[in-house]
């Protein structure tokens, strides 16, 4: 699971200590709060392996994404990015916040950049973890405690179908250098590409063949803004084609950084070969993500409907469950909607308590020349929805790994059959698309 | 240029609210409900009518009204236009929603051209949450009635 904020750190052992195989942490968080993260990794994750995403693509975009405007009007690089850039060498330090990074900037400085980036990942947290008191107790209790990352990630760059020709060679050289300086360490590259790339068979072949010719242990994969619930069959096929090619007959690891149930099934090994060795997302967010963040919007409570394998707005979930008479009794709810611990705890014998998954506080918000009242989910609501989500997700991962193919297909069809009439064909068609693409 | 653009949505809301108030409804604006806000909530006795006001995009109003089915006794769309679209009438009638026509004249007269049917999809548990939101607005003195 991907670390988001410290508010969610307690969920990295939820519903149980063995739920997750590892933690992904963004390098800007490592730069921003290293002590807190060192403590988190040692004490809140049951010592799960971790990978630091070096976030090197951040430097190639418009600097406005990594700068802020102060009250006096001056522009300043965000402090976490500034700290990161100070650790990444002159190629980054010289341009950060001023202009985007170009491939030409790395013609002479690439090795320094790679060396610095790898060193940052290897030592920035592990040194702090080694000095924590809790580490002494853990070392006493365990023979194989590892403080360094599970894998080191070579600096990487976002590629579109138009810029791949400029960045791919830099990406390859970066990966080669990283493996050269750390031959005994697991080294990954990161493939971060636009949706146009996965629709271009020639590009996919080009990327795959380039990486097949070098010594690398694995990959992180991120398709810009690919929302598997809305993706076309062609995009999903392209995703799998790229993943399968990079995995080189499953001899290399590949973690999809932002995947939903489709990716979970694609990595489960039961419905097809394992296109992914791992699938990541955040605590209830991050099943898709744009490379250049698009933020904002009012938070709305969302409930993960098991049969749909999708988070839906609370108001839609209520509508669907009412139409199907699934809130008539707790027994019906547990049988046909969800019987996870959180649902049982929330309903507590009364199906009307389903409203607690949407409970909100109202606040006055300034709008134009006046004020309007807006709803925001309460902290408790967010926790309930998140716990329910994590419990259902765990069952999805287990199901994808163990269920026979026929049951997986039946489950996808069940979602269509149950919700097509009330939610509409368009709303559930992704289940059919997934089934067709995966088989 | 569309006819309805001659009126602002806020004007539609104000005129409908005045008409409702004249008929002894208690009226509130921008009442939170299920993550969105209802333009107008009108209450008489224990019955709640929820109204979405639009100057032209009645399709959007129909979508917004869907959320109100869980909590309202009656649902209406208030539309400012020269004439009521036959499609709007057809959809609203099918869904049981009412239509309040706000004429785009100087007087901005309101006419109930299609009475709403009693909503049978209400879920009492969620209705209590709406009533709680209305009570909070009362405490904030947002009642314009």
**pLDDT attached to residue B2:** 40
- The whole-chain average pLDDT of chain A stands at 93
Q: Can you tell me the mean pLDDT for B66-88?
A: 93
Write out pLDDT tens, residues A42-58: 889 988 999 999 999 99
Q: Which of A87-96, A159-168, A290-299 is the least confident region? A: A290-299
Interface test with A, best of B14, B28, B33, B35 (most A CBs within 10 A): B35
pLDDT surpassing 70 at residue A433:
yes
Q: Which residue of chain A comes nearest to B128, CA vs CA?
A: A355
pLDDT digits (tens, 9 = 90+) for A364-401: 777 666 777 778 899 999 999 999 999 999 999 999 99
Question: Residue B119 carries which DSSP code?
Answer: P
List the single residue in B32, B37, B123 with the smallest CB-CB distance to A318.
Answer: B123
Contact state of B35 with A318 under an 8 Å Cβ cutoff: no
**Do the chains contact at A359 and B67, CB–CB below 8 Å?**
no
Lowest average pLDDT, out of A275-279, B103-107, B112-116, goes to B103-107
**Which A residues 338-397 touch B at CB under 8 Å?**
352-355, 358-360, 362, 364, 372-375
pLDDT for A404-423, tens place per residue?
999 999 999 999 999 999 99
Closest CA to A311 of A303, A319, A300: A303
For residue A316, what is the nearest residue in chain B, using CA coordinates? B67
Of all residues in chain A, the percent with pLDDT exceeding 90 is 82
- CB-CB under 8 Å, A359 with B125: no
Residues of A in contact with B31 (CB under 8 A): 373
Residue B82 has pLDDT above 90, yes or no: no
Can you tell me the ipTM of this complex?
Answer: 0.86
The residue-averaged pLDDT of B128-139 equals 88
Which residues contact residue A147 at a Cβ distance below 8 angstroms, ignoring those fewer than 6 apart? A125, A126, A129, A130, A135
The rounded percent of chain B whose pLDDT value lies above 70 is 90
In order, the DSSP letters of A361-421 are: EEEEEEETTEEEEEEEE-HHHHHHHHHHHHHHHHHHHHHHHHS-HHHHHHHHHHHHHHHHH
B32/A373 CB distance under 8 A: yes
Inter-chain residue contact B69 with A301, CB threshold 8 Å? no
Q: How many CA atoms lie within 13 A of B6 on its CB side?
A: 11
pLDDT (0 to 100) of residue B6: 62
Of A221-225, A271-275, B10-14, the one with minimum mean pLDDT is B10-14
Burial class (CB in 10 A: 0-12, 13-18, 19+), A70: exposed
pLDDT of residue A431: 98
Please say if the pLDDT value at position B4 is more than 50: no
**For residue A332, pLDDT beyond 50:** yes
Phi, psi of A335 (to 5 degrees): -75, -40
Q: Do B35 and A314 touch (CB under 8 A)?
A: yes
pLDDT at B5 over 50: no
| C-beta of residue B131 within 8 angstroms of C-beta of residue B70 | no
Q: Hey, are the CB atoms on A373 and B35 less than 8 Å from each other?
A: no
Q: Tell me, what DSSP letter sits at residue A73?
A: S
CB-closest option in B32, B34, B126 to A362: B32
- Write down the pLDDT at residue B115: 97
pLDDT tops 60 at residue A353: yes
Confidence of residue B3 (pLDDT cuts 50, 70, 90): very low
CB-side neighbour CA atoms (13 Å) of A69 = 3
pLDDT band at B88 (very low <50, low <70, confident <90, very high): very high
Question: What integer pLDDT is reported at residue B133 of this predicted model?
Answer: 87
pLDDT at B145 over 50: no
The closest alpha carbon to A210, from A256, A175, A254, belongs to A175
- pLDDT for B27-40, tens place per residue? 999 898 998 889 99
The pLDDT score that the predictor gives to residue A119 is 97
Q: Inform me whether the pLDDT recorded for B116 exceeds 90.
A: yes
Residue A296 pLDDT exceeds 90: no
Q: Is the pLDDT of residue A346 over 80?
A: yes
Q: In angstroms, how far apart are the furthest CA atoms of chain A?
A: 69
How many Cα atoms are found within 13 Å in the side-chain-facing hemisphere of A119? 10
Q: Count the neighbouring beta carbons within 10 Å of the beta carbon of residue A11.
A: 21
Q: Distance between CA atoms of B58 and B54, rounded to whole angstroms? A: 6
Which of A55-64, A75-84, A236-245 holds the top average pLDDT? Answer: A236-245
Task: Tell me the β-bridge partners of A67.
Answer: A77
Nearest neighbour of B129 by CB, restricted to A319, A355, A364 = A355
Could you give phi then psi for residue A407, rounded to 5 degrees? -70, -35
Question: Is there a contact between A265 and A408 (Cβ–Cβ < 8 Å)?
Answer: yes
Q: Mind telling me how many Å the CA of B34 is from chain A's nearest CA?
A: 5
**Would the pLDDT of B106 be above 90?**
no
Which tokens go with A87? 């650790």
> CA A303 from chain center: how many Å?
19
- Least confident piece of the model among A140-149, A319-328, A396-405: A140-149
- Provide mean pLDDT across the span A415-438: 95
For CA atoms B9, B15, B17, B23, the dihedral sign is negative
Q: Chain A interface, mutation test: which of B28, B126, B140, most A Cβ atoms within 10 Å?
A: B126
Q: Which residue of A has its CA nearest to B29?
A: A372
Q: Over pLDDT 70: what percentage of chain A?
A: 96
């Amino acid at each position: 699971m991907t670390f988001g904020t410290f508010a969610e750190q307690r969920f990295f052992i939820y519903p149980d200590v063995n739920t997750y195989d590892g933690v992904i942490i963004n390098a800007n968080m490592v730069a921003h709060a290293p002590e807190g993260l060192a403590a988190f990794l040692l004490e809140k994750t049951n010592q799960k392996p971790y990978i630091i995403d070096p976030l090197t693509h951040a430097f190639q975009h418009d600097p406005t994404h990594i700068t802020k405007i102060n009250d006096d009007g001056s522009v300043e690089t965000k402090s976490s990015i500034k700290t990161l850039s100070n650790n990444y060498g002159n190629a980054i330090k010289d341009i950060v916040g001023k202009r985007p990074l170009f491939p030409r900037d790395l013609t002479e400085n690439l090795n320094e950049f790679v060396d610095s980036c790898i060193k940052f990942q290897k030592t920035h947290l592990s040194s702090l973890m080694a000095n924590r008191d809790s580490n002494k107790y853990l070392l006493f209790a365990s023979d194989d405690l590892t403080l360094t990352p599970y894998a080191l990630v070579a600096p990487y760059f976002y590629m579109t179908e138009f810029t791949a020709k400029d960045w791919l060679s830099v990406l390859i050289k970066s990966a080669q250098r990283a493996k050269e300086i750390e031959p005994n360490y697991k080294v990954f590259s990161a493939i971060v590409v636009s949706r146009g790339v996965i629709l271009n068979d020639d590009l996919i072949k080009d990327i795959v063949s380039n990486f097949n010719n070098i010594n690398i242990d694995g990959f992180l994969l991120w398709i810009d803004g690919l929302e598997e619930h809305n993706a076309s069959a062609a995009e999903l096929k392209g995703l799998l084609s790229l993943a399968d090619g990079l995995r080189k007959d499953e001899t290399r690891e590949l973690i999809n950084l932002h995947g939903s149930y489709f990716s979970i099934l694609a990595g489960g090994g039961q419905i097809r070969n394992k296109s992914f060795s791992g699938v990541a997302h955040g605590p209830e967010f991050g099943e898709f993500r744009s490379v250049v963040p698009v933020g904002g919007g009012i938070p709305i409570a969302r409930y993960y409907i098991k049969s749909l394998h999708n988070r839906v707005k609370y108001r839609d979930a209520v509508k669907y469950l009412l139409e199907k008479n699934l809130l008539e009794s707790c027994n019906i709810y547990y049988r046909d909607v969800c019987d996870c611990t959180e649902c049982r705890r929330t309903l507590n014998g009364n199906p009307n308590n389903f409203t607690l998954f949407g409970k909100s506080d109202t606040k006055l918000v300034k709008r134009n020349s006046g004020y309007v009242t807006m709803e925001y989910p309460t902290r408790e609501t967010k926790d309930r929805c998140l716990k329910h989500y994590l419990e259902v997700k765990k069952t999805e991962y287990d199901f994808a790994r163990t269920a026979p193919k026929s049951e997986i297909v039946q489950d996808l069809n069940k979602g269509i059959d149950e919700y097509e009439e009330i939610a509409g064909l368009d709303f559930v068609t992704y289940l059919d698309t997934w089934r067709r693409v995966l088989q | 240029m569309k006819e309805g653009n001659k009126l602002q949505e806020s004007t539609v809301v104000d005129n409908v609210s005045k008409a409702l108030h004249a008929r002894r409804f208690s009226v509130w604006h921008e009442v939170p409900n299920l993550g969105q806000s209802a333009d107008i909530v009108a209450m008489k006795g224990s019955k709640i009518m929820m109204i979405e006001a639009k100057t032209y995009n009645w399709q959007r109003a129909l979508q917004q009204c869907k959320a109100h089915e869980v909590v309202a006794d009656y649902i209406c769309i208030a539309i400012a236009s020269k004439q009521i679209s036959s499609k709007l009438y057809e959809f609203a009638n099918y869904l049981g929603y009412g239509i309040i026509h706000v004429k785009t004249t100087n007087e901005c007269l309101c006419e109930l051209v299609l009475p709403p049917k009693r909503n049978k999809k209400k879920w009492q548990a969620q209705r209590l949450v709406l009533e709680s939101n209305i009570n909070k607005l009362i405490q904030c003195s947002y009642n314009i009635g």
